[in-house]
Amino acid sequence: MSLKIYIDGKLIDKQDAKISVFDHGLLYGDGVFEGIRAYKCLVFKLKEHIDRLYESAHTIMLSIPLSKQEMAAAVVETLKANDLADAYIRLVVTRGVGDLGMDPRKCPKPSVIIITDKIKLYPEQLYRDGLKIITVPTVRNLSEALNPQIKSLNYLNNIMAKIEAVNSGVEEAILLNSLGFVTECTGDNIFVVKNGEVYTPPQYMGLLRGITRDTVLDLGRAAKISMREQIMTRHEIFNADEMFLTGTAAEIIPVVQVDGRVIGEGKPGALTLKLMKAFHAATRKNGVKYSLR
């Protein structure tokens, strides 16, 4: 069965799914997106993801031509069309077709694209053994220039950092802000554990407030674990007892080495494993259920 892609109200075979070369999402990265997961016919945190998509669009003055309810229904429709119980969902809204200038007024009709497929961000072994990562020279975009709460189609800041990680032989990279404080990785939020407490950088340091990040904070507090937002330098990371990353595609993945420094005992720690287990249970409960034909 050919994968079906939702484009502006129609389900189109993957090989026939196309956008115009004049779409400003392609020409200028002018648009927004969300990555969402479905687990066993449950779209995890669908409302939260759609709310964030519409907030990103509102900030860049992009009017999405569907209501939130219609967008949620289109996500489920696309999953059903592809007979997917477990999937990664990419919601994309572009400014639409315009001319070769940047003026958004020349784009009268935004486009909505929904892709549902499988994803495997990291090999299973890394979830058991942990990641080795580095800090890279690329600095996180200044919030005053491009607010990280906007999940825009221009991810070049993240991609440049990813290139530096790949060139160094690792899978992921930490980006610092212009003051040298830890923000996030190229696609994941950062958590460390020290003396039984769990810390993550606060949003105002210049990072995306991830939905998986917030889920982990809630799960930890429900389990009576001390969960705090705290400004971090690399010193705090190097001397952590445990470290892990969170993201929609990555879920929760342990980190065992940063910039050549072993984190804790050099293996996934007890609190990390506890939160991983709690998160996997949560993905079966919190979201929108659907059924396949």
Q: Where in the sequence numbering do the catalytic residues fall?
A: 151
pLDDT at 19: 96
In Å, what is the CA distance from 264 to each residue of 16, 174, 248?
50, 18, 25
Count other C-beta atoms under 10 Å from residue 99's C-beta: 11
The amino acid present at 55, given as its one-letter code, is: E
Enclosing H/E stretch for 128: helix 124-129
Residue with tokens 């389900």: 11
Give the confidence band of 116 by pLDDT, cuts at 50, 70, 90. very high
pLDDT above 90 covers a percentage of the chain that reads 96
pLDDT at 1: 75
pLDDT tens, residue by residue, 267-283: 999 999 999 999 999 99
Count other C-beta atoms under 10 Å from residue 227's C-beta: 19
Q: How far apart are CA 64 and CA 146, in angstroms?
A: 20
Give me the residue spans of the domains in the chain: 4-117, 124-282
pLDDT tens, residue by residue, 21-42: 999 999 999 999 999 999 999 9
pLDDT at 73: 98
* CATH class given for the domain over 4-117: alpha beta
pLDDT at 152: 97
pLDDT tens, residue by residue, 201-259: 999 999 999 999 999 999 999 999 999 999 999 999 999 999 999 999 999 999 999 99
pLDDT at 6: 98
Q: Are 37 and 49 in contact (CB under 8 A)?
A: no
pLDDT at 121 over 90: no
Packing angle of the helix pair 211-222, 270-282 (nearest 10 deg): 110
Residue with tokens 């779209």: 43
Q: How far apart are CA 199 and CA 229, in angstroms?
A: 6
pLDDT at 49: 98
Count other C-beta atoms under 10 Å from residue 35's C-beta: 18
pLDDT at 265: 97
Q: How far apart are CA 245 and CA 191, in angstroms?
A: 6
pLDDT tens, residue by residue, 131-181: 999 999 999 999 999 999 999 999 999 999 999 999 999 999 999 999 999
204: its two tokens:
């105002």
Q: How far apart are CA 148 and CA 47, in angstroms?
A: 20
Q: How far apart are CA 248 and CA 75, in angstroms?
A: 16
Give the confidence band of 293 by pLDDT, cuts at 50, 70, 90. confident
Q: CATH number for 124-282: choose from 3.20.20.70, 1.20.1260.10, 3.40.50.700, 3.20.10.10.
A: 3.20.10.10
